[in-house]
Structure 1
Amino acid sequence: MTPGALSSVSAVVDYVFDRYPQVARRAGRHDFDGRLPDVVPDSLSDLDSLLATVAGQLDALPDESDPEIRADLGTALRVLTDERFRIGALGRVHRGPDEWLAETDVHIYLRGAYAPLDERVAALSHHLAQLPGFLEATAKTLGGTLPAGERISGVENARARAVSVRDLVTRLLERHPESADDSLRELAGRASAAFVGFADAVAATRPARAVLGPDLLAACLEAAEGVDTPVDELLAEARAEVERLSARLDALSARLGVRTRQEAYDLLSARVPEGSVVGTLSRVIDRLQEFWAERDIVTMTGRQRLDIRPVRDQSTSAAVVFDIGGPLEGVPQPHVLHVPEPRDPAVLRDYLNEPMLEMIAVHEVFPGHYLHHEATSGQAGAIRRCVPWFPGATEGWAHYTEELAIEHGLAEDRPLVEVAALRFALEAATRLLVFLSVHSGRSKFGAAAAEAASLCAWSPERAGREVLAVAAQPAGAMYTLGKLHIRRWRELSGVGDSPAGLKAFHDRLLRCGSAPLSTVRRYCLDGQEVPTASRTD
């Protein structure tokens, strides 16, 4: 990378790490341990200076420039334009509840032995000691209203953390009584009370609709992912995807002898794992590794090991979560897949049955998130390896692989695996449809919730929560948006069904790492040695 480009991209990484220290810690920068961000209004002045420098360098690059330089600069540009959209276009000079709460996470200190235990416990203690003051200060930034979905999530997130922080310290003292005394328990108790206070502050705000409108929606997608497709076209694509998936699911349900999608989902619920969820998922992952190696349409690689562990907080988490081992760790750490062992039988039947675990394993491990992190080029700058900013490419790839698995025979003679894949896909496509239709003004919240309930066999309560959640936080809409882009790029590449062509296409896409969709597209075109201007189509 040229010195100027290297310097400006590094400045953007520093910007992110300084303002979001939890991102730095997750990346393996433990000089940020125990650090919390300043609770001050975000300013456009420093941001605009960085943005002008990065944009100028990117515009000045000749077509034959190193694709790695272009990808790093393109990624840096979108980090800055996304931040600028929040601060300038939306006028949100402070972060929302979930973004503040992300900075309070203390599990990183006990995730792995990146340093001696006493050093990590000291960092944990320092972090806990700061939380009451930090949460009190951030609560004052919330204002009188919050987007309704953001408000609900913030309350639930804060209350879950109130339980989680106590449990974390209790487990530490049980396992390593020599490492700390009751002062740590006292710090956890004060932090827990502060989380409850923060939850109360969020709950005291009034819920707001916070609809963008078509112009701001288009600007949001451009700023965050470089997507410049007109909103009406995106909406038509989302609607077509929902209709395609609905038709496939209905046809498959008929072949299985059931009348409705809910009855098809009931067939999934009857396939409860024998033994632990961790054990079942481990066996599925082993089988998947062999499956993809035989298909040979994506290079299977794995330098950092994958640990499969029970979730950290059984009482507060029912989700499977992939947690990267930081690329900048001085002592290499494994990636971790946290898996719940739910006490509620309904959760086990509905969300962690065997066919759905199969698709979860595809999405999270092979060839989803785990392989994506492992396949990212070693030449990629820290911004594409360490800054998890762009769900369009990362979640889009993981969701695309679910479809790819069915296409290449994972559900052969196992129709319930295809039901699980179609269920995930229809729910994800519905979230995209809801996000676009609500923010473009095509649908009211109530109508969107009613349609979502009908499409996905959700209860009215769940449908309402899903609509509010995706309207407030677009990440849930990016799974299908990213998948649709990757599918289109594959068609445009002309690889057809050629295993070698598919492998080259997939490998190139994965090498780009965590980047906006526009940057990934240009990176793939550069890999084909096609000197075409950056575009997302």
Structure 2
Amino acid sequence: MHRTLAALLLVAVTTAYPALLSGAGDPAGERLGRLVEEFIPSHMAQRPLDAVALGWHQYDGGFPSLERSALVAEQARLARYEAEFAAIEDRRLSPAQHRDLQAILAAIRTERWKFEQQKAPWRNPMFYAGAVDVSIYLKRDWAPLADRVRSLSAVLRHAPAVMRAAKANLEPQLARPFVETAIEVAEGTASFLEKDVAAFASRVTDPAVLSEFKSANGAAIAVHRQFASWLRAERLPQAHGRFATGAGAFRAMLRAERIDLSPDQVLSVGLKEMKAEQARMREAARVIDPALTPAQVYERISQEHATAADLIPRARQTLEKARQFVVDHALLTPATEVRAQVEETLPPFRSTSTASMDTPGPFETRATTAYYYVTPVEPDWTPKQAEEWLRSLNDYTLEVVNIHEAYPGHYFQGARVNVTPLGVPAKVFSSYPFVEGWAHYCEQMMLEEGYGAGDPVRAAKYRVAQSSEALLRICRLCVAVKMHCHGMTVDQATQFIMENCFYEEKAARPEAMRGTFDPGYCFYTLGKLQLLKLRQDWRLQEGGAFSLKRFHDELLRHGNPQVRTLRELMLRDPKSWRRIL
């Protein structure tokens, strides 16, 4: 089956991007084109859910094998292609080809890091607990309902094999944060399948399709619950606290994103930025009430929040305000007039997400709705837990999150990729530091340009909220290094976050837990700081021709590459390329 799908995918690639795959006549470019022609289909064959999200529906219903032999073969494929792409003479390539080559190399190196350094298939049960993700079939209507239910049923039929592979592949002793989170994810997935997916599929009128779904879904629900029970009985009692990757692996993660810094250099940057951000927060807090500490001021403004019932409607009401500010102040050229739709975060993802953006893929031609997800208060939370959550999404923070996720953050970023003529690699692969760095940069940039200005006290409340978000990202950077390189525990990381960005424990602990399996969440701050440095350097280069609109439009027209790659594309002086901070 994969051979047929790969052939169809190849037709799409060669039709859409003949210039890239022809290599423009140079031997190095021709070699790149031929390798891309091989690599993209083979890569998508192992990641059909990603292919569907990109808009390549030849892969509808596809799912890879997660058996040990298949995973080992995938490691070997990645190693072989890295060697082949790395051997291309980069200096002979055009700027666009250079960008595409670097995007592919970074993607391969990041995937290899997950296999070889993080060892996720062997050490993290979350690799399996969240693998059978059919949410995209509910969210987007690129095909008739019956066809999408048939495809998601095909995916669900793989769930028993996934859980068998998990039990065979996972080491006997696992890190406690991984096990605890995987139990939550597996149980959340089972609930999602039982309630949301079943309700979605019940609208199908074809009895054969519905019967096929019920059989596949029932088995998938059962094996997810069984997996959670197995983890609780067989892995949790002997779980340990050794989740850290180590300094060497952490540095390899940085290098995969073209960041040539040591973990301790990153930590030094983070601690310095924390002091600067805390000073900015103190300045804003004094405007609100000079008699209170910044923590007390944040506590006061956090009391201004929606009710549990009104949280999602409040997000909808305030979202357009951010978009209109971007347009009125000519901060960039919007890629689309289509608005993002605000919805509740789907149940399986609530334990690890406050808010998120889901933009349609660059090759999607039918289901083009974008979704901005906000995690609601859960019905089974205590009043104290609910109040803590609503305070973390107070009125001012919620608008800062709107900026980050949608306007001009992730949604405008993703929409620009979708409409810009780019090579396939630049549309398929994205840099974690650039994607999250851009959204985080937008929070600061919007307030610098006057978002929320007017009444001085109200403007200061927005600045305190934005500083709190910045301090959270800086805390992520610091605890990522400290947990993975210096032995910090989850409890210590939780306390660090509570003390330095004034979060309640209900919101701080998931942030600390995320850091155990996602050390790359240090990239929010690292990416933002790299973009601020690039903006400074580009301003000096452009002189009187500089404007934020020109800078942002130029920045976003290259896809989502590593910031080092953007420096090579946007700055004329090669001596400046290495100075990323």
TM over 0.5: yes
> How far apart are residue 499 of structure 1 and its match?
8.8
Out of 352, 361, 364, the position equivalent to 1:329 is 364
Contact 1:125 1:184 in 2 (8 A): yes
Q: Unaligned 5+ residue runs, structure 1?
A: none
- Secondary structure at 1:42 match in 2: helix
Is it true that 1:229 corresponds to 2:261 in the alignment? yes
> How far apart are residue 322 of structure 1 and its match?
1.1
Q: Distance in 2 between matches of 1:289 and 1:143?
A: 48
Q: Counterpart in 2 of 1:356?
A: 397
Matches within 5 A, 1:283-432: 283-302=317-336, 305-313=339-347, 319-342=354-377, 343=379, 345-346=386-387, 349-376=390-417, 378-388=420-430, 390-412=431-453, 413=455, 414=458, 415-432=460-477
> How far apart are residue 197 of structure 1 and its match?
2.0
> How far apart are residue 326 of structure 1 and its match?
1.9
Q: Counterpart in 1 of 2:102?
A: 74
Contact 1:154 1:199 in 2 (8 A): yes
> How far apart are residue 108 of structure 1 and its match?
1.6
> How far apart are residue 114 of structure 1 and its match?
0.9
Contact 1:136 1:194 in 2 (8 A): no
> How far apart are residue 273 of structure 1 and its match?
6.4
Out of 17, 23, 31, the position equivalent to 2:44 is 17
Shift in CA distance, 294/308, structure 1 to aligned 2, threshold 3 Å: same
Q: Distance in 2 between matches of 1:467 and 1:531?
A: 39
Q: Counterpart in 1 of 2:570?
A: 524
Q: Distance in 1 between matches of 2:304 and 2:252?
A: 45
Q: Distance in 2 between matches of 1:467 and 1:338?
A: 21
Out of 271, 295, 298, the position equivalent to 1:261 is 295
Moved more, 87-96 or 432-441: 87-96
> How far apart are residue 288 of structure 1 and its match?
1.6
| Structure 2 residue identity aligned to 1:381 | G
Q: Distance in 1 between matches of 2:145 and 2:468?
A: 43
Shift in CA distance, 516/9, structure 1 to aligned 2, threshold 3 Å: farther
Contact 1:431 1:476 in 2 (8 A): yes
Q: Distance in 2 between matches of 1:315 and 1:395?
A: 18
CA deviations 1:40-65 (Å, max 9, x no partner) are 332443222211221122x4333xx4
> How far apart are residue 488 of structure 1 and its match?
1.5
Contact 1:226 1:536 in 2 (8 A): no
Moved more, 34-43 or 427-436: 34-43
- Secondary structure at 1:521 match in 2: helix
CA deviations 1:114-161 (Å, max 9, x no partner) are 112221111122222221222222232121233443333222111110
Contact 1:297 1:502 in 2 (8 A): yes
Shift in CA distance, 249/143, structure 1 to aligned 2, threshold 3 Å: same
Matches within 5 A, 1:131-530: 131-176=159-204, 181=210, 184-203=213-232, 204-205=234-235, 206-223=239-256, 225-257=257-289, 258-272=292-306, 276-302=310-336, 305-313=339-347, 319-342=354-377, 343=379, 345-346=386-387, 349-376=390-417, 378-388=420-430, 390-412=431-453, 413=455, 414=458, 415-441=460-486, 443=488, 447-459=492-504, 463=508, 465-495=510-540, 500-525=546-571, 529-530=572-573
Contact 1:158 1:198 in 2 (8 A): yes
CA deviations 1:492-514 (Å, max 9, x no partner) are 22359979432222222212223
Moved more, 24-33 or 246-255: 246-255
Contact 1:166 1:185 in 2 (8 A): no
Q: Counterpart in 1 of 2:12?
A: none
The one of the two structures with greater contact order (alpha-carbon pairs below 8 A, sep at least 6) is 1
CA deviations 1:456-499 (Å, max 9, x no partner) are 23456765553342132123221111111111211222359979
Contact 2:141 2:367 in 1 (8 A): no
Shift in CA distance, 493/34, structure 1 to aligned 2, threshold 3 Å: same
State the superposition RMSD in angstroms.
3.0
Shift in CA distance, 37/235, structure 1 to aligned 2, threshold 3 Å: same
Moved more, 12-21 or 286-295: 12-21
Out of 61, 64, 70, the position equivalent to 2:91 is 61
Contact 1:148 1:468 in 2 (8 A): no
Q: Distance in 2 between matches of 1:497 and 1:241?
A: 27
- Secondary structure at 1:322 match in 2: strand
> How far apart are residue 25 of structure 1 and its match?
1.2
Q: Unaligned 5+ residue runs, structure 2?
A: 1-19, 24-29
Contact 1:55 1:77 in 2 (8 A): yes
Q: Distance in 2 between matches of 1:38 and 1:311?
A: 28
Is it true that 1:6 corresponds to 2:19 in the alignment? no
| Structure 1 residue identity aligned to 2:356 | V
Q: Counterpart in 2 of 1:49?
A: 80
Q: Distance in 2 between matches of 1:89 and 1:152?
A: 21
Higher helix share: 2
- Secondary structure at 1:308 match in 2: strand
Contact 2:251 2:262 in 1 (8 A): yes
Give TM-score, length-normalised by structure 2: 0.82
